[in-house]
Amino acid sequence: MSPSRTPDPARRNPQTTAAILEAALAMARESGLAKVSIEGIAARAGVGKRTIYRWWPSKGAVVLDAWAQRLEDRLFKHLQSAQSDDFEADLKQMVKDSWLGAIGDSRPVLAWLIGEAQHDPNLANELRDRLIGPTRDRVAVRIRRAQDEGQVAPDIDPYRAIDLIYAQLYYRLLVSPGPHDEAFTESVADLALRGLRPR
């Protein structure tokens, strides 16, 4: 989180911060994201609105912060545990564990955050810095290894390979809906692998 966008998180009061993030998540869960407001979060956390506005630029930023803190350890652990010698098996595991496991029932939160990010450049930056970018970097490491080991064609940019895989998940979430289940994540990996394998 860059200091030019929001104050250094280390300078926030930890108890107050925890109460605000807890309130934001609880409101999102109970009333739906559409009903989340800075006013509501402030009232529930027992703080003033100005405290929230001093530390976060928007309600989307509060929800992202609350959600990412819960998610990132679990998500990044899943991505790093895919370290067998079989890229196909690792890819299927990574896609399933991250999309159905770590993100799982929070997919509507992710969809809402990305929706908000379309008219909130700060939130778009935070999303990229905290979730999208770090996820892509971790998957890229595994793809480069698969290229070194001859399981992925060497002429493909690892980040374009990631586009091919992850774009299918986000497209179904945001644009053209369908089931999010293991049959889908398997098919996402299978379809991408058809194009990624050495020719």
b/e 161-186 (16+ beta carbons within 10 angstroms → b): bbebbbebbeebbeeeeeebeeebbe
Cβ 149 to its own copies, closest distance in Å?
Answer: 19
d(CA 174, CA 162): 18
Q: Could you tell me the smallest distance in angstroms from the CB atom of residue 121 to its own copies? A: 10
Cβ contact 72:50 at 8 Å: no
* CB-nearer residue toward its own copies: 22 or 137: 137
Cβ 36 to its own copies, closest distance in Å?
A: 10
Closer residue to its own copies, CB minimum distance, 141 or 174: 174
Minimal distance in Å, beta carbon 191 to its own copies? Answer: 6
Nearer to its own copies, 44 or 197 (CB): 197
22 or 163: whose CB is closer to its own copies? Answer: 163
Residue 133's contacts (CB-CB under 8 Å, 6 or more residues apart) are: none
Q: List, as one string, the DSSP characters of 146-186.
A: HHHTTSS-TTS-HHHHHHHHHHHHHHHHHTS----SHHHHH
| Cβ–Cβ < 8 Å for 198, 152 | yes
Q: What is the closest distance, in whole angstroms, from the C-beta atom of residue 89 to its own copies in the complex?
A: 19
Applying CB under 8 A, the residues found at the interface with its own copies are 33-34, 111-112, 114-119, 128, 132, 136, 153, 156, 160, 163-164, 166-168, 170-172, 174-177, 187, 191-196, 199
Q: Which is nearer to its own copies, 147 or 168 (CB)?
A: 168
